[in-house]
């Protein structure tokens, strides 16, 4: 019974135990408070600068300031490419929420095209969520008003002001100015992350060639924002540097007159100042409206351009190589004189048919079936006597022939300030072996002597060579941009050009060739004598025809053939003959013969440049940027062209006798 009794409580021991536990708890609390106080001290005192900076960064954001793109003017100050204010719809993906719901909601406010949505989705997948993505460009006033009512429903969606590109003259300068388009991943990779805020970049023409000069440099603005990320006030900025303006050597009035001279015909033409290499005008017809591409071309418009058999986007001036025909004869004649193989007084007998020595088969004809008789160098140019050049080319040999024509600028790009220029094809054994896998024959050189066979030259190359003859033998680089400036009130700075190259060391030989070209237009037997009727100035030139149908074709009238089988008509020349200020090359697709089609076009171009102009000139489109109508003021055309009578019926030349 005594064992079942409980021991008595020890009050002293229990009190002591409680005190120990209380002290331990107090020590833990005290240490925790000290640690918390120390942490607060660290945050508030030691790390104050660090966290204050982070806090400021959360409320102040750097917003990129996109620079204004440089404007483009013609030689007389007419605006060819400008910036107009507009608004675009930007989306921040990390704040805007799920894509499908967002697009569905915004489609009720904005007219979103399938192209807009596809571009947005593609960009969203490849970009970072904090970077704004443009969903729609050129938002209308009505759309902005509707969005202002429902803006609260779309966090991360903003309307941003920007400058969009506009081309007032539409398709008149499509192949010169080019256009800007939306930046894609390849563009951004090339331009670098520093230019990610840009929405457009040059895609063609001068817009692409001078992209770095035109686009300027991006600036930044410090903007204080609220918890929703909306801007409250500006805290300062690093200003953007606007792109440089460009002044072209091109004359808008001459450009218009050149286009009008073609009428409904297709082809290309270029006019140079032979004294400087400046491009005065250049057209590739048909052309296209660059305004269509600025904010994304629709599928309908794109398909219309691509399905057009005339290929409006194809720049015939730098990409369209053709056989030059007889337009090369003045330069080949110069090669004969400079080589010493021919003297001005040397004569070749033209009987109407030429055959290689020792061969009785195939022959090469002259433009007159009965021949031209005894022919010197001047007459060979004026009357386009093929036999003179057949014999001269064989005497030169292919190596020397190619050496001289290379010196004159063929088989290589001219260096004009446009992207993608081809060098063409200079006939040679190596070129034939590479292209056709065939060996070279003497007959190939005979064909090359009159600009047929493997030849491929651009109108720019022809104009450049012709300008060199007009300038006494100085070959210059054709160029479109004459000067630039970095601000509206800054002086224009001329763009330096390479020194000209002399193509002949014998000025007397160049003069002989010039006399032959003057006889072409002004002589009694000249192939372009119809040009001189009623002209108050003297011209020099050379007609040419690039053969398309084979030599066995029997059609009398080239207009009876389908367009793709008609000969290409060509003309090169300069004026005034005694002091040239303009040199031209004209190529008409399906035009038939140079004398009847290309030469009259060249005459109209000369008149437009040399004669007094009337008040009627091309007016830029002053409407919406999406239109490209060239407004005509309802008065007489700008070019006071004297009436040129229709040429006499053309007698079809003998095989190989095109001129």
Kindly report, residue by residue over 225-259, the tens digit of the pLDDT.
665 556 666 677 778 888 999 999 999 999 999 99
| Residue 16 phi, psi (nearest 5) | -65, -40
15/565: higher pLDDT: 15
Q: CA of 202: how far to CAs of 69, 129, 213, 419, 544, in Å?
A: 10, 26, 11, 11, 36
Residue 177 CA to chain centroid, in angstroms?
A: 6
Q: CA of 522: how far to CAs of 61, 314, 384, 515, 519, in Å?
A: 73, 36, 14, 10, 5
Check pLDDT > 90 for residue 637.
no
- Averaged over 267-274, what is the pLDDT? 96
pLDDT tier for residue 626 given thresholds of 50, 70 and 90: very low
Burial of 290 (0-12, 13-18, 19+ CB in 10 A): buried
Least confident window among 72-76, 149-153, 221-225, 607-611: 221-225
What's the pLDDT at 55?
58
Q: Which member of 268, 284, 287, 326 is catalytic?
A: 326
Q: CA of 161: how far to CAs of 87, 297, 398, in Å?
A: 4, 21, 62
Q: Are strands 179-182 and 200-204 parallel, antiparallel or unpaired?
A: antiparallel
Cross-strand bridge partners of residue 224: 60, 233
User: At a CB cut-off of 8 Å and minimum separation 6, what does 383 contact?
Assistant: 367, 372, 375, 523, 525, 526, 527
What's the pLDDT at 552?
42
Please state at what angle helix 329-339 crosses helix 459-470, rounded to 10 degrees: 50
What's the pLDDT at 315?
92
Is 428 designated active site?
A: no
Least confident window among 83-87, 217-221, 426-430: 217-221
Kindly report, residue by residue over 465-503, the tens digit of the pLDDT.
999 999 999 999 999 999 999 988 899 999 999 999 999
Check pLDDT > 70 for residue 556.
no
Take residue 562 and report the two structure tokens written for it.
């389908």
* Contact call for residues 478 and 240 (beta carbons, < 8 A): no
Alpha-carbon distance of 607 to 594, in angstroms, equals: 18
pLDDT tier for residue 198 given thresholds of 50, 70 and 90: confident
Take residue 86 and report the two structure tokens written for it.
């507009």
* Contact call for residues 83 and 163 (beta carbons, < 8 A): yes
What's the pLDDT at 20?
81
Check pLDDT > 90 for residue 374.
yes
| Residue 642 phi, psi (nearest 5) | -60, 150
Assign 194 to helix, strand or coil: helix
Least confident window among 25-29, 340-344, 452-456, 494-498: 25-29
Nearest residue to 281 via CA among 497, 601, 599: 601
C-alpha torsion sign, points 420, 423, 425, 431? negative
Residue 498 CA to chain centroid, in angstroms?
A: 21
Q: CA of 470: how far to CAs of 105, 279, 412, in Å?
A: 66, 15, 21
Alpha-carbon distance of 296 to 114, in angstroms, equals: 11
Alpha-carbon distance of 51 to 244, in angstroms, equals: 42
Check pLDDT > 60 for residue 29.
yes
User: At a CB cut-off of 8 Å and minimum separation 6, what does 25 contact?
Assistant: none
What's the pLDDT at 635?
29
Check pLDDT > 90 for residue 209.
yes
Alpha-carbon distance of 574 to 271, in angstroms, equals: 9
* Contact call for residues 369 and 544 (beta carbons, < 8 A): no
Burial of 300 (0-12, 13-18, 19+ CB in 10 A): exposed
* Contact call for residues 583 and 574 (beta carbons, < 8 A): yes
- Share above pLDDT 70 across residues of the chain, in percent, rounded to a whole number: 83
583/110: higher pLDDT: 583
Q: HSE of 515 in the Cβ direction (CA atoms, 13 Å)?
A: 11
Kindly report, residue by residue over 428-452, the tens digit of the pLDDT.
999 999 999 999 999 999 999 999 9
Check pLDDT > 80 for residue 111.
yes
Number of neighbours of residue 630 by Cβ within 10 angstroms: 15
For the chain, give me the number of helices (H) and strands (E)?
Answer: 21, 23
Q: pTM of the entire structure? A: 0.79
Q: CA of 228: how far to CAs of 102, 131, 145, 162, 251, in Å?
A: 18, 16, 22, 23, 53
Nearest residue to 367 via CA among 450, 442, 466: 450
């Amino acid at each position: 019974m005594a064992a079942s009794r409980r021991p008595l409580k020890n009050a002293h021991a229990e009190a002591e135990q409680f005190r120990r536990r209380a002290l331990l708890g107090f020590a833990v609390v005290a240490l925790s408070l000290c640690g918390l106080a120390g942490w607060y001290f660290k945050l508030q005192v030691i790390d104050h600068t660090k966290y204050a900076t982070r806090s400021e960064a959360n409320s102040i954001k750097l917003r990129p300031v996109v620079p204004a793109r440089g404007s483009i003017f013609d030689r007389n100050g007419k605006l060819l490419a400008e910036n107009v204010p507009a608004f675009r719809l930007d989306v921040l993906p990390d704040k805007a929420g799920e894509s499908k719901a967002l697009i569905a909601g915004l489609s009720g406010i904005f007219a979103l095209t399938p192209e807009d949505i596809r571009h947005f989705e593609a960009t969203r997948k490849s970009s970072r969520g904090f970077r704004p993505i443009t969903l729609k460009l050129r938002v209308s006033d009505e759309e902005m008003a509707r969005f202002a009512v429902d803006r609260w429903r779309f966090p991360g969606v903003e309307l941003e002001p920007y400058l969009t590109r506009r081309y007032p003259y539409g398709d008149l300068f499509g192949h010169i100015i080019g256009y800007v388009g939306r930046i894609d991943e390849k563009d951004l990779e090339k331009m670098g992350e520093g230019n990610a805020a840009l929405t457009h970049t040059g895609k063609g023409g001068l817009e692409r060639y001078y992209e770095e000069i035109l686009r300027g440099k991006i600036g930044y603005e410090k903007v204080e924002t609220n918890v929703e990320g909306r801007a409250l006030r500006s805290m300062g900025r690093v200003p953007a540097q606007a792109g440089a303006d460009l002044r072209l050597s091109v004359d808008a009035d001459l450009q218009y007159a050149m286009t009008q001279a073609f009428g409904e015909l297709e082809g290309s033409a270029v006019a140079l100042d032979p004294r400087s290499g400046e491009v005065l005008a250049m057209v590739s017809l048909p052309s296209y409206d660059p305004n269509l591409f600025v904010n994304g071309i629709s599928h309908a418009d794109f398909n219309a351009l691509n399905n057009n058999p005339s290929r409006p986007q194809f720049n015939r001036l730098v990409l369209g190589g053709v056989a030059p025909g007889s337009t090369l004869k003045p330069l080949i004649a110069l090669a004969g004189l400079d080589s010493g193989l021919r003297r001005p007084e040397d004569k070749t007998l033209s009987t109407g048919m030429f055959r290689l020595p020792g061969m009785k088969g195939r022959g090469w004809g002259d433009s007159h079936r009965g021949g031209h008789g005894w022919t010197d160098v001047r007459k060979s140019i004026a009357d386009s006597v093929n036999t003179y050049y057949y014999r001269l080319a064989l005497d030169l040999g292919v190596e020397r022939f190619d050496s001289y024509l290379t010196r004159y600028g063929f088989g290589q790009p001219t260096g004009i300030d446009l992207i993608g220029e081809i060098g063409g094809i200079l006939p040679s054994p190596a070129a034939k072996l590479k292209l056709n896998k065939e060996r070279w024959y003497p007959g190939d050189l005979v064909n090359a002597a009159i600009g047929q066979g493997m030849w491929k030259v651009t109108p720019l190359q022809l104009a450049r060579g012709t300008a060199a003859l007009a300038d006494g033998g100085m070959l210059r680089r054709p160029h479109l941009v004459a000067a630039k400036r970095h601000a509206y009130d800054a002086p224009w700075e001329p763009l330096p050009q390479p020194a000209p190259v002399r193509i002949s060391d014998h000025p007397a030989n160049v003069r002989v060739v010039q006399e032959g070209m003057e006889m072409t237009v002004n002589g009694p037997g000249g192939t372009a004598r119809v040009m001189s009727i009623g002209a108050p100035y003297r011209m020099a030139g050379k007609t040419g025809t690039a053969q398309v149908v084979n030599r066995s074709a029997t059609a009398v009238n080239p207009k009876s053939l389908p367009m793709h089988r008609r000969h290409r008509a060509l003309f090169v020349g300069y004026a005034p003959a005694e002091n040239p200020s303009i040199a031209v090359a004209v190529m008409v697709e399906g035009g038939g013969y140079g004398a009847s089609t290309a030469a009259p076009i060249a005459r109209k171009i000369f008149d437009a440049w040399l004669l007094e102009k009337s008040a009627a000139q091309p007016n830029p489109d002053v409407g919406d940027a999406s239109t490209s109508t060239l407004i005509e003021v309802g008065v007489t055309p700008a070019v006071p062209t004297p009436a040129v009578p229709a040429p006499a019926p053309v007698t079809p030349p003998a095989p190989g006798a095109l001129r």
